[in-house]
């Protein structure tokens, strides 16, 4: 799977751990930055990474910032992206099963690396259930300007 990763300064260290973990698992990782813990603005990294997912250049995305909220907001501003903020495995799992989330956003200041890796693994392994959920997900495109 081709996975876009992105982080601001608060999420940099966790993004690095996640990217390496994904590579070890055999995924093609596209790192949109940042490349240090120097202060940055999350839209500068989350925006281009989300565009890659929305355009289909990446299959999924894993974005990290301090609270996870900023990355979630910028990602969901991009057509074709369904970003979910998760700080527990069950939330991440439901975001895939019920919402077909294609971007996972994590709060670096509120979860540890081992927990984050477990969340990422479960999220990647969880299929979309479809069925009644597919109808709901399809309705999202109405609000993206598509009918």
Token readout for 122 is: 């479960």
Q: At how many degrees (to 10) do helices 113-125 and 12-24 cross?
A: 50
The one catalytic residue among 9, 21, 27, 65: 65
Q: Which residue has tokens 């989330």? A: 101
The answer to whether residue 9 is catalytic is no
Verify whether residue 133 is a known catalytic residue: no
Catalytic residue, chosen from 9, 98, 133, 142, is 98
Dihedral of the CA atoms 33, 37, 39, 45 (nearest 10)? 10
Instruction: Output the six-digit token pair for 141.
Output: 């495109």
Catalytic residues: 65, 98
């Amino acid at each position: 799977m081709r996975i876009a990763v992105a982080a601001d300064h608060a999420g940099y260290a966790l993004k690095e751990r996640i990217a390496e973990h994904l590579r070890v698992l055999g995924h093609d990782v596209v790192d949109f930055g940042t490349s240090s813990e120097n202060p940055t603005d999350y839209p500068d990294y989350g925006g281009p990474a989300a565009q890659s997912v929305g355009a289909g250049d990446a299959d999924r995305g894993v974005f990290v910032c301090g609270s996870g909220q900023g990355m979630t907001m910028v990602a969901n501003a991009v057509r074709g992206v369904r970003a979910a903020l998760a700080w527990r495995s069950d939330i991440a799992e439901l975001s895939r099963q019920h919402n077909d989330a294609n971007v996972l956003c994590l709060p670096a200041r509120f979860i540890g690396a081992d927990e984050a890796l477990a969340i990422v693994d479960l999220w990647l392994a969880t299929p979309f259930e479809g069925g009644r959920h597919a109808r709901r997900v399809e309705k999202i495109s109405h609000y993206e300007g598509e009918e």
